[in-house]
């Protein structure tokens, strides 16, 4: 009988602790609303913020990273992952693309071909194609695609139209 009394002294407090812990956790977790985390990857930051706000979440940008395959200001990574149940009020962390670097194409019309190649090399722009046409400005750039002043991706290319000697037929 004494051993039964000692056993009760041992199990009653442990049982009371486990039951109170269970009910506390149950009340706390059931009292909070949950939502499904939206998939914001590939979306613009403004759209993603609106999607998160509509689900009762906050959106914080962790960092920006340069990605040539993702446009500027689009989300590349999110935590927590999409389509999982999370509590409302949580924070959705994202990484945003800075996009590819854009470079302004210099105006090369009238420049000698060698000088044009040097100018393009300084800006990390390649000459994709050189087209020679009969023209009075031999060895000089007559036209270019894209035009001077427009922007292209870094390490992109231009097509130059260069004058050559006019040959009689």
- Each residue's pLDDT tens digit, 83-92: 998 988 899 9
Question: Nearest to residue 61, comparing CAs of 97, 100, 96, 98?
Answer: 96
Residue with tokens 């991706």: 153
User: What distance, in Å, lies between the first and last C-alpha atoms of the chain?
Assistant: 125
Cα–Cα distance, 146 to 163 (Å, whole number): 18
User: Which of 30, 37, 23 lies closest to 93, judged by CA?
Assistant: 37
**pLDDT value of residue 42:** 92
Q: What pLDDT score does 29 carry? A: 62
Q: What is the DSSP string of 31-59?
A: HS-EEEPP--TTSBHHHHHHHHHHTT-EE
Q: How confident is the model at residue 169 (pLDDT cuts 50, 70, 90)?
A: low
Residue that is written with structure tokens 């930051």 in the block: 45
Say what the pTM is. Answer: 0.53
Q: Is the pLDDT of residue 4 over 80?
A: no
The count of other CB atoms within 10 Å of the CB of residue 51 is: 17
Other beta carbons within 10 angstroms of residue 79's beta carbon come to: 11
Q: Is the pLDDT of residue 8 over 90?
A: no
* pLDDT cut 70: percent of the chain above it: 96
């Amino acid at each position: 009988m004494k051993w039964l009394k000692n056993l009760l002294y041992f199990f009653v407090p442990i049982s009371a602790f486990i039951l109170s812990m269970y009910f506390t956790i149950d009340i706390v977790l059931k009292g909070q609303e949950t939502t499904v985390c939206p998939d914001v990857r590939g979306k613009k930051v403004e759209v993603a913020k609106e999607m998160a706000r509509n689900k009762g979440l906050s959106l914080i940008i962790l960092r920006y990273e340069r990605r040539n395959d993702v446009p500027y200001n689009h989300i590349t990574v999110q935590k927590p992952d999409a389509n999982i149940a999370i509590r409302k009020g949580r924070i959705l962390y994202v990484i945003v693309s800075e996009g590819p670097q854009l470079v302004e194409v210099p105006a090369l019309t009238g420049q000698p071909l060698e000088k044009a190649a040097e100018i393009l090399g300084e800006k990390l722009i390649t000459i994709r194609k050189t087209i020679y046409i009969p023209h009075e400005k031999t060895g000089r750039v007559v036209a270019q695609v894209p035009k001077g002043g427009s922007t292209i991706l870094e390490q992109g290319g231009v097509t130059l139209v260069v004058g050559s000697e006019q040959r009689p037929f």
